[in-house]
Amino acid sequence: MEIKDRYLNVDNCADNDLITILDSGTEDKNQWGKVKYNFKASNGSYELIYTPDFMAIKELTKAFGRQTDSWVNKQFRVSIVPNLKTKSGKSIFPKPLLI
């Protein structure tokens, strides 16, 4: 049995991977009131949790709308982009597929 990462991140995906959003997500607030959104997603092999950053949320809402109920079964391609705020120096930027 292979232990798989639980979260979608730059270590377990590559440029142009196809990701499907599986649910409308949940909203979590930390102790300082900062909101993050978590979505169940699939890379075609297994289910992961996708926590998009601010720029990714902006791109997804532009493509799919502000109501995340309509995001279920929507897909995007992964683009790995530089991000100096992360340990790896990279982050996932979604390229939504409009079908």
pLDDT tens string 3-40? 666 999 998 899 999 999 999 999 999 889 999 999 99
34: Cα separation from own chain's centroid = 18
Of 84, 87, 76, 83, give the one whose Cα is nearest residue 15: 76
82: Cα separation from own chain's centroid = 16
pLDDT band at 95 (very low <50, low <70, confident <90, very high): very high
Q: Does the residue 25 lie in any domain?
A: yes
Look up the pTM and report it: 0.89
Q: Does the residue 29 lie in any domain?
A: yes
Segments forming the whole domain that contains residue 79: 18-96
The total number of structural domains that make up the chain: 1
As a whole number of angstroms, the distance between CA 94 and CA 6 comes to 18
> Taking phi first (over 0 means left), then psi (-120 to 50 degrees means alpha), and beta for anything else, what does residue 67 get?
beta
User: So what's the pLDDT on residue 78?
Assistant: 98
Q: Does the residue 13 lie in any domain?
A: no
Contact 73, 21 (CB under 8 A): yes
Q: Does the residue 6 lie in any domain?
A: no
Q: Does the residue 4 lie in any domain?
A: no
pLDDT band at 1 (very low <50, low <70, confident <90, very high): low
Q: Does the residue 11 lie in any domain?
A: no
